Amino acid sequence: MSDLTAFPITSRWPAKNPDIIQLYSLPTPNGVKVSIALEELGLAYEAHRIDFGNNDQKSPEFLSLNPNGRIPAIIDPNGPDGKPIGLFESGAILVYLAEKTGKLIPTGAAARYETLCWVMFQMGGVGPMFGQFGHFFKFAADKVANNSYPMERYRDEAKRLLSVLESRLEGRQWLMGDDYTIADIATYPWIEGARKFYGGADVLEYARFPNVMAWVDRGLGRPAAQRGIEIPTRD
């Protein structure tokens, strides 16, 4: 049986089965990237709910695994050289899981790097910009009631990113063509999240991006995505 006592997070969220991947998350756009990938890969894992209502993500135990205090994070008891490894940042976790299994990432070097370009496009572009859009449009709308500039700036940047995706998906089923990869899993939960959590579909003019919307539906329609998008349960 694996010994995870070197990870203080396990004292607050104990592993029932320390031999399988431990996921610390919530079903947010960044969180579900990892649960969708784990489901798609068929890896055994145990999900621990990090309750934002309790500020769990800023607790010393959580910070011991992710000093940035944000979900998702994982421990894999069977990491490199058979030793346990802790990981944070959803993009890094996706790359790790894909490389561990040899799935959801092309094997050819050029296509592999191209996939990483799209993962980074999500991590540096779609996630932060859609997140800021949601903040000003939905969660802090009262704080910017007299100044529409912050919302407009992030709205316009989110729409520009959607148009990049729209072009990329012209004639392609997935971001990498026929192959469903971690680039898709990193990205479509954000487009869906802006619709579901921010009510942003109209203001972001989703109807203008039919390739993107068909791709979001294709992704969400996969059985693994249907399961992963609800993990961990919110209550």
Ligand X SMILES: N[C@@H](CCC(=O)N[C@@H](CS)C(=O)NCC(=O)O)C(=O)O
| Binding region for ligand X (CB under 6 A) | 28-31, 52, 57, 69-72, 89-91, 127
CB 123 within 8 A of CB 145: no
Q: Closest separation between CB of residue 91 and ligand X, Å? A: 6
Spatial separation of the C-alpha atoms in residues 89 and 53, rounded to whole Å: 21
Residue 176 DSSP SS3: strand
Cβ neighbours of 221 (radius 10 Å): 9
Q: Which residues contact 127 (CB under 8 A, 6 or more apart)?
A: 29, 30, 190
Toward ligand X, which CB reaches closer, 68 or 147?
Answer: 68
Q: From the CB of 72, what's the least distance to ligand X, in Å?
A: 6
Least Å from the CB of residue 207 to ligand X: 25
Whose Cβ is closer to ligand X: residue 18's or residue 130's? 130
The HSE-up count of residue 224 (CA atoms within 13 Å, CB side) is 15
Q: Which residue is nearest to ligand X (CB)?
A: 70
Asked if 32 and 189 touch (Cβ cutoff 8 Å), the reply is: yes
Least distance (Å) between residue 25 CB and ligand X: 9
Task: Residue 1: count other Cβ atoms within 10 Å of its Cβ.
Answer: 8
- Of 31 and 86, CB closest to ligand X: 31
Nearest CA to 185 out of 78, 105, 70, 67 is that of: 105
Q: Nearest distance from residue 37's CB to ligand X, in Å? A: 13
CB 115 within 8 A of CB 182: yes
Nearer to ligand X, 18 or 125 (CB): 125
Nearer to ligand X, 71 or 98 (CB): 71
Q: Considering the complex, what minimum distance in angstroms separates the CB of residue 99 from ligand X?
A: 17
- For residue 67, say if its preceding peptide bond is cis, omega within 30 degrees of 0: no
The residue (of 190 and 215) whose beta carbon lies closer to ligand X is 190
